[in-house]
Amino acid sequence: MPGMGFSLDTWSSKIFSVLFRGKVPDNPRDAIPPLKKEANKRWGKWAGYAFVNVLNDSPKISKRIGIDLTKF
């Protein structure tokens, strides 16, 4: 069974850039291809599910890392 796609947009690229790199990208659109590559390297066919989990749990993740991911 194939996994869901890791479909980033400029909004979600900010969130995943903070999670993967510790900072908001200067150009969120340009950050999309390398972030997709990183997500697929980390999670493989499960990257789409990881995407959904991160977005659904962003308030809890924000508390854990001390950065408000919901503000993007």
* pLDDT averaged per 10 residues, the chain (length 72): 77 96 96 96 94 95 95 87
2 occurs within a structural domain: no
pLDDT at 56: 95
16 occurs within a structural domain: yes
Q: Which residues contact 68 (CB under 8 A, 6 or more apart)?
A: 62
Contact 64, 10 (CB under 8 A): no
Q: How many CB atoms lie within 10 A of CB 29?
A: 11
3 occurs within a structural domain: no
Contact 31, 17 (CB under 8 A): yes
pLDDT at 34: 97
1 occurs within a structural domain: no
52 occurs within a structural domain: yes
pLDDT at 40: 94
pLDDT at 1: 46
pLDDT at 72: 84
Give the residue numbers spanning the domain of 66. 10-71
Number of domains composing the chain: 1
5 occurs within a structural domain: no
pLDDT at 5: 81
15 occurs within a structural domain: yes
28 occurs within a structural domain: yes
